[in-house]
A and B are shown apart, each in its own frame.
Chain A
Amino acid sequence: MELKELLDQKLKEKFSGENFIFNEYRNELTLSFDKKNVVSVCKLLKEDPDLQFKLCEDITAVDWAKRKDRFTVVYHIFSLKLNLRLALKANVDEADCNIDSVCSIWKTANWHERETYDMYGIKFNNHPDLRRFYMPEEFEYHPLRKDFPLMGIPGSLPLPKK
């Protein structure tokens, strides 16, 4: 895949010594990296004139339950110039459950990150407005975590006071 070589070259120029893993499945390219690089990598991908990944389609996380790095934050970005989609992945450990926000790069990340925080409890550093998205503010749990039961927890959603 052309994009893979192009990205490899660009990333090697800027981040020498860092570990980037490419993965391809069903014609979709995925790039995995350490979570501390997330903002600088995203900035490079968006602002490099040869890449121009200007459209951030989706941000979400995957809960792997028993794995060492429990969560993976997944970004799907699209380049209108190259007409290609790229998935970015960064692992987040449960003990250190935070990652830098990419709101400064794509404005649309705001709500996606709020939703991910609401559903998985992953904190996004430097996020302008990190609140619950779907669930009420007083809700204590993060419902898409694998240890949250499907039927819910009785009494976790109190009725509004009269």
Chain B
Amino acid sequence: MQKITKEDVNPKILDALLADTELSVEDALENEMILNMGPQHPATHGVLRLLLRLDGETVMGCVPELGYLHRGYEKLAENMSYYEFIPHTDRLDYLSPMANNVAWALAVEKLAGIEAPPRAQYIRMIITELARIASHLVAIGALAMDIGALTVFLWTLREREKILDVWDILCGARFTNSYTRIGGVANDAQPEAIAKVKWFIDQYLENLDECEKLLNTNRIFVERLDGVGIITADDAIDLGLTGPSLRGSGVDFDLRRAQPYLFYNEMDFKVITFPDGDSLARYFVRADETRESIKIIRQSLDKMPQGETLLNQPKKVLPKKAEIYSKMEELIHDFMIVNFGINPPVGEIYQAVENPKGELGFYLVSTGEGHPWKCKIRSPSMVNLQSVPHLVKGRMISDVVAIVGSLDPVMGEADK
């Protein structure tokens, strides 16, 4: 075959090409190249920017840049009451707002030294686990879509849609729920909502198996993930990974088991671990964790007692709306809490819960005023993203997408 050389091209066109760009005619493979992946890249799950140093198609180095979605929630929290911050927690990990609501409520209750009634705690456990299923479904679907399997994304989102319907009945909102309150939940779970949850958990496992059948027997899917982005257990702990990403490296650490909150100590469930530490293991952990969540929901529904869903402690807990309009005492308490806050005693606490993405922690400092003096959000996505440079080193550029997908970051949480 005859080679086309410079001389064959019309010199006028060649001049125009070279004048217009800084195109190098030398061999690109001999040079290292900097590629700016994101922040507006669909496969980076939001506004994550990765600067990659490439040799050909091999990643030699990676520098993640965060902050494109930084809204300063920690500063905002210092300037509003504990109640006012509940809707803001929805916007942290926007794929599992219910779990964030529960985490915030638990943190403030610990700071104020109160505890929600048992029924409210069981409801919280059910919604946390449903949120975990919803979040893992998006993670699995988006991971498959990132590496080219579009069908599964539609199937997992169909399942997630059923959970959103439960939220709709439960609290009237599908995405940003703000369902928990300090000292309980906004309203009792209606029989329709519970019936819907029961219906969902009865049909879910079958549908999950169908999705898994599509993925686990798909050679392209498995080979794009198998052995990609390996992290050992020691490195994972050193880098502070938590959640499915840590358990995918074989570390048996789950805050629901290690430091039980709500009624997780009464639940019978397995902490899923896979020893391989690669992207495929992280995917397996997520899929199996939803099965354990179903078990927890089933047990919670069986054990859930009747009774109040809001603590009766007028100085700390907002009374119900109907009582505010009809009783003088409740009106006064409502006025005081809305205007001056719940004033927890002077002190500081760190409350961590096992969220779908990992360990979500709130570090709260109270000086006895109505708003926190300091609120630090320990977001799992931010910490998990720190492992990206470690994971992508020496891999191909197309593996970067698979690795980021398998870590399942949500930038609303990582950037706070």
Contact = CB atoms under 8 A, between A and B. Distances in A.
Contact of A110 (B111, B386, B415): B386
Given A76-B350, A85-B350, A134-B66, A60 B376 contact: yes
Nearest to A63: B374
B378 A58 contact: yes
Contact of A85 (B67, B72, B74, B259): B259
A54 interface: yes
Nearest to B367: A64
B347 A107 contact: no
A55 B237 contact: yes
A87 B350 contact: yes
A86 to B, nearest CB: 10
Interface string A59-74: 0101100000000001
Interface in B328-382: 347-350, 352, 359, 361, 363, 365, 373-374, 376, 378, 382
Given A57-B378, A111-B386, A26 B347 contact: yes
B378 A83 contact: no
Contacts of B307: none
A28 interface: yes
Q: Which of the listed residues B259, B348, B352, B378 has the most CB atoms from chain A within 10 Å of its own CB?
A: B348
Interface in A90-126: 106-108, 110-112, 119
B72 A60 contact: no
A135 B70 contact: yes
A133 B259 contact: no
A62 B259 contact: no
Interface in B73-114: 74-76, 79, 110-111, 113
A124 to B, nearest CB: 16
A54 to B, nearest CB: 5
Contacts of A76: 350, 361, 363, 378
B74 A108 contact: no
Interface string B229-242: 00000010111101
Contacts of A54: 237-238
B388 to A, nearest CB: 11
B322 interface: no
Contacts of A1: none
Contact of B373 (A56, A62, A143): A62
Contacts of A134: 66-67, 70, 415-416
A44 interface: no
Contacts of B186: none
Contacts of B72: 143
A106 B238 contact: yes
A150 B79 contact: yes
B175 interface: no
Nearest to A83: B258
B347 A143 contact: no
A83 to B, nearest CB: 5
Interface string B395-416: 0000000000000000000011
Interface in A140-157: 143-144, 148, 150
Nearest to B235: A107
Contacts of B359: 57
A111 B383 contact: yes
B250 to A, nearest CB: 13
Contact of B237 (A63, A80, A143, A150): A80
A58 B350 contact: yes
Contacts of B75: 143-144, 148, 150
B67 A135 contact: yes
A56 B258 CA distance: 16
Contact of B240 (A25, A56, A143, A150): A56
22 contacts: A25-B347, A26-B111, A26-B347, A26-B349, A28-B349, A28-B350, A55-B253, A60-B374, A60-B376, A62-B373, A74-B376, A76-B361, A76-B363, A76-B378, A80-B251, A83-B258, A107-B386, A108-B238, A108-B386, A110-B386, A143-B75, A150-B76
Those 3 A-B pairs whose CB atoms lie nearest each other, nearest first: A108-B240, A134-B67, A134-B70
Given A106-B238, A108-B239, 6 more contacts: A25-B348, A55-B253, A63-B374, A85-B352, A111-B386, A135-B67
